A = this chain, B = another copy of it.
């Protein structure tokens, strides 16, 4: 039996390749996580186990997909960045998004019991959605990541103060909301310090800065190069020689994938880790 009679239906598939020479960001978001938080009694304002689980899932994505050059997560969301020269899946949006979302979800569900040993999952299971966005310039990409990290800061400062007012100050939700209405960052810092003796800057860095995942090589002297400029000058996805590509691959496999909680808004982070924007693996540090 030939299948030719029905095969015309393939013509309805439409290509969704993303513009070449642009940075691709795939952002994954938890679906209905407010309900999830309530159902599994996540701690407020931050549940360390939940964040560690998110980080474990994201780390698995970065490990499985070496094309991801950097990843940033906060709360129930994670952004994965493909280098602008990346040609994985011919840059098809649905392939890239679904692969990342599937890998993330698989690891989240699989590792749940490690981080919530006494709390078995039940239906409906935790799930995530995703989308891809292209950024033409290095500065656009860094602004995207800065946007997410500033958001992390704003939300965490608010939530920390809000839950301090409730958990330590004995206020109800509405009164806590009223207390914070119209306050500036400095006001919230003041409330935390004067009422609860909390110095916000001593809060865990993971809560204040979110998590950034990348392959780790030896840090370089930030003055020795101008990666961002070089990257924008790079017109065409670089054609590497086969042997160079193999060398790079080996180095990448040797590199540790690390989860850190660093400022990625300032230049310093990027200047010391040129491999993130250049996509050329750095020097693998010697074992101590």
Interface, chain A (partner B; CB < 8 A): 1, 3, 5-17, 19-22, 28, 31, 60, 64, 84, 92-95, 97-99, 101-110, 121, 123-140, 143-144, 146-147, 150-151, 153-154, 185, 228-229, 232-236
Contact = CB atoms under 8 A, between A and B. Distances in A.
A17 B3 CA distance: 25
Contacts of A20: 11-12, 136
A125 B101 contact: no
Q: Kindly name the residue among A3, A21, A31, A143 whose own CB sees the greatest number of chain B CB atoms within 10 A.
A: A21
Contact of A101 (B98, B143, B144): B98
B93 A1 contact: no
Nearest to A61: B127
B121 A110 contact: yes
Contact of A106 (B14, B105, B129, B185): B105
6 contacts: A12-B20, A19-B134, A93-B93, A93-B94, A105-B105, A105-B109
| Count of this chain's copies in the oligomeric assembly | 4
A147 B22 contact: no
B137 A235 contact: yes
Given A94-B97, A101-B105, 20 more contacts: A9-B143, A9-B144, A9-B147, A12-B144, A19-B22, A19-B134, A21-B140, A22-B22, A93-B94, A94-B94, A98-B101, A99-B129, A102-B128, A102-B130, A107-B125, A136-B137, A139-B235, A139-B236, A229-B229, A232-B233
A62 to B, nearest CB: 12
Q: Please provide the 10 A-B residue pairs with the shortest distance between their CB atoms, ordered closest to farther.
A: A139-B235, A232-B232, A6-B147, A136-B136, A106-B125, A98-B130, A102-B127, A98-B129, A94-B131, A9-B144
A12 B108 CA distance: 29
B19 A124 contact: no
